[in-house]
Amino acid sequence: MIKRTLFFGNPAYLSTKNEQLVVSYPEDDKEDKTVPIEDIGMLILENPQITLTNGLITKLIQNKAAVVNCDKQHLPCSLLQPLEGHTEQSERIRHQLNASLPLKKNLWQQTVSAKIANQAEHLLQRGKNHKKLARWAGEVKSGDTANHEAIAAAHYWQNLFDIEGFSRYQKGIPPNNLLNYGYAILRAVTARALVGSGMLPGVGIFHRNKYNAFCLADDVMEPYRPFVDELVYEIVESGENIEELNTFLKSQLLQIPALDVVIDDKRSPLMVAMSRTTNSLYECFYGLSRKILYPEFQ
C-alpha cells in the first residue's frame, strides 16, 4: 500500500490517540481530523507554529514515517529518522561499511548509466535532442572516470526547458525553485527507504562530504531525478505562474512519492520502488547480487 504524504502549512497541534494522528486547530473552530499513523509515509511541516507531541513523534518514527521540517524559505531543511530502521541493522551497516572500492565503483557506474538513460528517454519523449545522452549511457566506465554524469547533465539542462537564461542552479531562475523542492522531497523518500533497509544514509558509494549526512541518499536518488524533472516540466508547460512556490505548486510536487514508475518490469509507486532499490543495494553490499534495481523512464 502506498503511504500518504501529509503537508501542514498552517498553525496546528498534532497529537496521537488510538494509533491515529490527531490534527487540532487551536486558532480556528474546525473539528479535529484524524489519520491512521500506519498510513503515513511522510509528514511535511512548514509553519513555525506547528506543535507535535513526543508521543506522536515516537509513533511516527516507530512506523518509519519521514518527518520533514521546512526553513524560512519554505524548503525542506531537516529529516527526522529512526535510530533503528531494521531488525538486522548492525549487520547490514557492517556489510555497507566493508564494501570494497571496486564494488562501489561498479555500483556508481550502474547508477550514472541509469540516470543518463532516464534523462535521454525524458528528452526523447519531449522531442528534444537525446541521441548523445543515449550513447553516453552505454559508455560509462567503472567509477565514471570520464565524468559522464556531469557532461550529460550539462547537455540535458541545455535542451530540456525552452526558457531563456535558464541553467540548473540552486539559486537560479524558475523553475529551479520547483526542482529544489522536488529534489528535497525525493531525498527524504530515499533516506527513509535506506533506513528501512538497515543502512546509513550518510555513507555513500560516490558522494563524500563530511558535512553531508545524506551522501548515500544523494547517490541512490540520481536515476530518480528525471521523474521529478518530468513533473516540473509538465507544471511549466501548463502555463502556471512558477515565480513563487505557492501552495498549489507544492501540492503538485507532493505527488512525487506516489508517482508511477516501472522497476524490474513492474509498475509501482515511486516510494515503493525506492524501497526495492535500497533493498537491492544491500544485496550488493552483502554479496547476493551485483545489480542495483533502478526504475526505467517510460
Binding site per annotation, positions: 149, 207, 222
Residues 42, 169: Cα–Cα separation, whole Å: 27
How do strand 66-70 and strand 40-45 relate by DSSP bridges? parallel
User: Would you list which residues are annotated within the binding site for Mn(2+)?
Assistant: 149, 207, 222
Alpha helices, H only, 63-139: 89-97, 101-125, 131-137
What single-letter amino acid sits at 291?
K
Give the HSE-up count for residue 207: Cα atoms under 13 Å, Cβ half-sphere.
21
Q: Which residue has the cell 570494497?
A: 100
Which uninterrupted H or E stretch holds 56?
helix 54-62
At 13, which helix (H) or strand (E)? strand 12-17
Q: Could you tell me the maximum CA-CA distance found in the chain, to the nearest angstrom?
A: 61
The DSSP string of 253-269 is HTTGGG-EEEETTEEEE
Q: Which residues lie across from 33 on neighbouring strands?
A: 23
| DSSP-assigned states of every residue in 158-224 | HHH---TT----TTSSTTHHHHHHHHHHHHHHHHHHHHHTT--TTS-SS---TT-TTHHHHHHTGGG
